[in-house]
Amino acid sequence: MIYRNRIGNAYSLTSFGESHGPAMGGVIDGLPAGLPVDIDDIQRQLDRRRPGQNDLTTARHESDKVEIMSGIINGISTGAPIGFIIRNIDQRTYDYDEIAQAYRPSHADYTYDIKYRGYHDRRGGGRASARETVCRVVAGAIARQALRLPGIDIVAYTSQVHDIKLDLPYDKLDLTHIDDNAVRCPHQETAARMEHAILEAKDRGDTVGGAITCIARNVPAGLGEPVYGRLNASLAAAVMSINAAKGVEFGLGFGFVDKRGSEVLDHFTLKNGKTGTTTNYSGGIQGGISNGEDIVLRVAFKPVATLMRDIATISRDGSPTTLHPRGRHDACVVPRAVPVVEAMVAITLLDHYLQQRQQLAFNGLV
């Protein structure tokens, strides 16, 4: 299936909204009835994604208050679809007049123009704006709450900003301190250096790339659908649909390329009487199916393409022009993308979890 504005099957999100329209929103379908849904927690996740949180992020102020329209009564899911909207408040359209005529390099201006033949909403990037990710955060927050019932826990953090790389593996880090700093890196000293790198780029009107590592713990073995719905395939699609994501890897990932098989086998062992592995090079997925170890993935983000500098480009009519960006943009997308990666992983895992329960359920095994 080619997803368009829907992601997921057993648990799905269908989203709508452009950054400068009246509201973003969507429909979440497939949440089983009878589950507690904590609206405050959804709002907390939205606040983590929200611009204007601190010096690092754009000054655009959006309250990003979610309004739930259906599907939840008194904090309990009803089994009906959950409709929601998030109003767009601070829309300074004037910031974007210029780009209505000129193509910003490495943005979606040109490709949307071709695809939608000029009819798309160009204000603020319209549908291509990363503002759309607010909808993912809502669906992701609800998915994470549901996954917590069987004990599954998802956490992501900034593992690299420009050339500042957090070299410690995640199991040597205290992942409860990710939000203690503005870049969302659990190692405070490294976080300070990352923050400095971003601010330095910002001062120069430049931007920097980065990477996010995401860990899903306590995922039961058996999630993932052979052969095209392998868990890594679904997760890859989910995170690669995030704005500015340009690569994804699982476990050792690209680090496997120059290895010998004898160096990177995950040998089996018994852990408290349960089958496990002594290492986790595979990142918790074998043959496309979770094996009960932590799922580990890493996503590469390109530097934001909107520089606060004059940029030479061409207009829709092909004539040379210069952009003078004045809008409000992050110098590094990664800190705010952390909750979005968590959301996409949560949506995908819940989708697979529900799918797998169905198979077990038939045989009365759940």
- Going by C-alpha positions, the residue among 264, 260, 234 that lies closest to residue 252 is 264
Task: Please pick, from the candidates 91, 237, 294, 327, the single residue that binds a second copy as defined by CB under 8 A.
Answer: 237
Under the binding rule (CB under 8 A), the answer on residue 251 touching a second copy is yes
- Going by C-alpha positions, the residue among 176, 141, 157, 174 that lies closest to residue 337 is 157
> Which residue's entry shows tokens 């968590």?
342
Under the binding rule (CB under 8 A), the answer on residue 259 touching a second copy is yes
CB 113 within 8 A of CB 120: yes
Distance between CA atoms of 111 and 16, rounded to whole angstroms? 19
- Going by C-alpha positions, the residue among 139, 144, 266 that lies closest to residue 216 is 144
Closest approach of a second copy to the CB of residue 183, in Å: 14
Task: Please pick, from the candidates 241, 310, 322, 326, the single residue that binds a second copy as defined by CB under 8 A.
Answer: 241
Span near a second copy by CB under 8 A; candidates 48-56, 57-65, 90-98, 357-365: 357-365
**What is residue 176's DSSP assignment?**
G
Distance between CA atoms of 269 and 35, rounded to whole angstroms? 36
Under the binding rule (CB under 8 A), the answer on residue 40 touching a second copy is no
The conformational region for residue 322 under phi > 0 = left, psi -120 to 50 = alpha, else beta, is beta
Q: Contacts with a second copy in 186-215 (CB under 8 A)? A: 201, 206-211
- Site size for a second copy (CB under 8 A): 160
Q: Lay out the site mask for a second copy across 89-128 (x = CB under 8 A, - = otherwise).
A: --------------x-xxxx-xxx-xxxx-xxx----xxx
Phi and psi angles of residue 98, each rounded to the nearest 5 degrees, phi first:
-55, -50
Closest approach of a second copy to the CB of residue 15, in Å: 7
Distance between CA atoms of 316 and 57, rounded to whole angstroms? 30
The SS3 assignment for 165 reads strand
What is the identity of the amino acid at 341? V
Compare residues 176 and 211 and give the one whose CB is closer to a second copy. 211
Closest approach of a second copy to the CB of residue 205, in Å: 8
Distance between CA atoms of 234 and 242, rounded to whole angstroms? 13
Compare residues 188 and 359 and give the one whose CB is closer to a second copy. 359
> Which residue's entry shows tokens 């199916």?
289
The SS3 assignment for 192 reads helix
Compare residues 23 and 39 and give the one whose CB is closer to a second copy. 23
Under the binding rule (CB under 8 A), the answer on residue 163 touching a second copy is yes
**What is residue 71's DSSP assignment?**
S
The SS3 assignment for 148 reads helix
Q: Contacts with a second copy in 12-31 (CB under 8 A)? A: 14-18, 21-27, 29-30
Under the binding rule (CB under 8 A), the answer on residue 224 touching a second copy is yes
Closest approach of a second copy to the CB of residue 101, in Å: 13
Task: Please pick, from the candidates 44, 83, 148, 294, the single residue that binds a second copy as defined by CB under 8 A.
Answer: 83
Span near a second copy by CB under 8 A; candidates 46-54, 89-97, 178-186, 238-246: 238-246
Closest approach of a second copy to the CB of residue 59, in Å: 18
Name the packing angle between helices 39-49 and 133-148 (round to 10°): 140
Closest approach of a second copy to the CB of residue 158, in Å: 11
Under the binding rule (CB under 8 A), the answer on residue 52 touching a second copy is no
Closest approach of a second copy to the CB of residue 74, in Å: 10
Closest approach of a second copy to the CB of residue 29, in Å: 5
